[in-house]
């Protein structure tokens, strides 16, 4: 199957043309975010009565970069050279279901078009994908070094000192990042289908 090239920022029209099973390659800026990053977003930007002045710059940058953009559930292993430049050594996907309580709100707030991870997400995120025009992309688990090779450059990092290296917002430029659409903007989820098929098969066996 031929891969579909997606250049970030991605339009809603492009996203709604995708269907589960489509193979894609991503080009452009992607930002990592895991558990602590999601909690930071909720506490600081969504549930606070006002965004603190000290956090305004981060919020504005995330809003700019994630408008039509892509989030990657990833806690990378990084290294730094003598000139101070960061590099991704390993960049495997994190299990995404842990972000299910947050993701629908995050997709809406920032205007995300795609979330990358592994294992799929639940009905709340699937509904948000349908309503706002987004997809869930399954990255290849166990290929962390291979995926890191598609990360061409670390542009910057937010909240590294506060959240730690794996939980920080790493802003990277990717070239040909491979993934598969497993939840689309039409309400279809391969993860849900596999779960239902497995449940039916188990019932037949017992």
Residues marked as catalytic: 38
Nearest to 126 by CA among 42, 63, 190: 190
Q: Which of 103, 70, 101 is nearest to 173 (CA)?
A: 70
Distances (CA, A) of 10 to 14, 92, 117: 7, 23, 18
Strands 70-72 and 77-80: unpaired
53's torsion region: left (phi>0), alpha (psi -120 to 50) or beta? alpha
β-strand pairing of 4-7 with 23-32:
parallel
Nearest to 38 by CA among 100, 116, 122, 127: 100
């Amino acid at each position: 199957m031929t891969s579909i090239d997606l250049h970030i920022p991605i339009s809603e029209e492009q996203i709604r043309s995708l269907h589960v099973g489509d193979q894609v390659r991503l080009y452009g800026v992607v930002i990592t975010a895991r558990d602590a990053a999601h909690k930071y977003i909720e506490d600081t930007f969504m549930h606070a009565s006002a965004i603190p002045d000290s956090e305004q710059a981060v919020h504005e940058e995330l809003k700019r970069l994630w408008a039509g953009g892509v989030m990657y559930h990833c806690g990378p292993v990084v290294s730094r050279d003598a000139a101070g430049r960061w590099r991704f050594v390993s960049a495997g996907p994190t299990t995404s279901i842990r972000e299910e309580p947050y993701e629908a709100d995050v997709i809406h707030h920032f205007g995300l078009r795609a979330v990358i991870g592994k294992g799929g997400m639940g009905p709340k995120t699937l509904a948000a994908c349908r309503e706002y025009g987004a997809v869930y992309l399954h990255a290849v688990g166990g290929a962390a070094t291979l995926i890191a090779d598609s990360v061409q450059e670390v542009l910057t990092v937010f909240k590294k000192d506060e959240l730690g290296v794996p939980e920080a917002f790493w802003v990277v430029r990717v070239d040909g990042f491979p993934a598969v659409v497993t939840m689309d903007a039409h309400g279809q989820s391969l993860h849900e289908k596999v779960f239902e098929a497995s449940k039916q098969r188990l019932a037949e066996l017992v």
